[in-house]
Amino acid sequence: MIGIIQYGAGNIFSLTAALERLGVLYGMINKEADFELYDRYIIPGVGHAGAAMQKLEQTGLVPVIKALKKPVLGICVGMQLLTAYSEEGDSNLLGLFPIKTLRFAGSPDHKVPHTGWNQVFAEQDSALFANIPNGSHFYFVHSYYIEYDKLYTLSSTTYCNKFSASIMRDNFYGVQFHPEKSGAYGETLLKNFSKI
């Protein structure tokens, strides 16, 4: 059963709706004692990474999250929180990945936010992408991206530059795109995470 970490950054209606469609059970995490009720966790998030980090700190759950040993999936800004730093608000983040979140340079040919369906290419084999063809399209909407890093990048996407579409380190996973809005393959990815 998935525990969704509630910290007030963005709506989770679409995420819980997707889990319900998939028949994946979930509940909400509001305090430390809630963590033991679940065997895996999702950190959602939209909006401003710096503001999201402040909200997460206010919950007092940061030390617990950093010490988690069960699978954790950060989505969009929830993924960016796992990195060490974001240019958005010049913010220090959880630091579970020693990599940075940077702003797209942008140009008339590469508008920012990066909005729409882009292809995701595997850099490493992962159960997270089981039954998802290499190069499938996922739905992105973001102005900041996580730098590509050979060690942690599970899959990459190119927009302005090559960046991390998904990352993994030990039990921590992150996806920049929105699986809950990415059609059938997005749903497959959520299903895969529920079984990792």
Partner 1 sequence: MLSKRIIPCLDVKDGRTVKGVNFVDLRDAGDPVELAWNYSQQGADELVFLDITATVERRKTMVELVKAVARQINIPFTIGGGINEITDADALLNAGADKISINSAAVRNPELIDELAKAFGVQFVVVAVDTRAIAGKNIVHLNGGRVPTEKESLDWILEAESRGAGEILLTSMDHDGTKAGFDNHFLKEVNKAVNIPVIASGGAGNVQHFVDVFEQSNVDAALAASVFHYGEILIPDLKRVLKTNNIEVREV
- Shortest approach of partner 1 to residue 14 CB, angstroms? 5
- Which region, judged by CB under 8 A, interacts with partner 1, from 29-37, 62-70, 95-103, 135-143? 135-143
Rounded alpha-carbon distances, angstroms, from residue 113 to 12, 122, 123 = 21, 23, 24
Near partner 1 in 136-195, by CB under 8 A? 137, 139, 141-143, 158-159, 178, 180-184, 186-187
Strands (E) located in the chain: 2-5, 26-29, 40-43, 72-75, 83-86, 91-92, 97-103, 114-119, 121-122, 137-142, 144-146, 153-159, 161-169, 172-175
Among 58, 70, 116, 127, binds partner 1 (CB under 8 A): 116
- Shortest approach of partner 1 to residue 32 CB, angstroms? 26
- Shortest approach of partner 1 to residue 68 CB, angstroms? 27
**Residue reference for tokens 């809005």:** 181
Tell me the catalytic residues.
76, 178, 180
Which residues in this chain contact partner 1 in the complex, by CB under 8 A?
Answer: 11, 13-14, 17-18, 20-21, 46-48, 106-109, 111-119, 137, 139, 141-143, 158-159, 178, 180-184, 186-187
